[in-house]
Amino acid sequence: MRDERFCASNCSFTRAIGTIGNKWKPIIINVIGTRTVRFGQMDSIIPHISRKVLTEQLKELEEDGLLTRIAYKELPPRVDYRLSEKGLAFLPILESIKEWNLKYEVALTPKENDRITYSK
């Protein structure tokens, strides 16, 4: 899931991409934001993610110091996730990605074969 060749690169930028350059991590960081979020919340908020993948991604984000996992010794279990200073510092970058996309995303142009054709 994490590409060792990226993480072991001597290029800082490549290592950074190895850390956050996949589709789930920016989504997860964005969902947490400045809040404290429980595992089950993320599981239901984020579309199409499986519990297994969510667990893996959260574990990697924790290992890379982007978030903090707080497990309460209760039953049924309760686990909170919160962004660390490093994770919080990444939020402005996500904001600029949002602005960038809003400004430049091409309007969905109808493809040739999607066009309405007048047949007799």
Partner DNA sequence: GAATCTGGTTACTGCGAGGTAACTACAAAA
Partner DNA sequence: TTTTGTAGTTACCTCGCAGTAACCAGATTC
As a dihedral over the C-alpha atoms of residue 10, residue 11, residue 13, residue 19, rounded to 10 degrees, the angle is -20
The residue among 55 and 89 lying less far from DNA, judged by its C-beta, is 55
Select the binding partner of residue 97 from DNA, a copy of itself, none (C-beta < 5 to 8 A, by kind).
a copy of itself
The residue among 33 and 89 lying less far from DNA, judged by its C-beta, is 33
The residue among 19 and 81 lying less far from a copy of itself, judged by its C-beta, is 19
d(CA 99, CA 105): 10
d(CA 60, CA 28): 12
* Buried/exposed code over 30-48 (b: 16+ C-beta within 10 A; e: otherwise): eebeeeebebeebeeebee
Number of amino acids touching a copy of itself (CB under 8 A):
40
Give me the amino acid identity at 62.
E
Residue 48 in contact with a copy of itself, rule: CB under 8 A: yes
Residue 33 in contact with a copy of itself, rule: CB under 8 A: no
Which residues of this protein are in contact with a copy of itself, per CB under 8 A?
Answer: 3, 5-6, 9, 12-23, 26-27, 30, 47-48, 64-65, 85-86, 89-90, 92-94, 96-98, 100-106
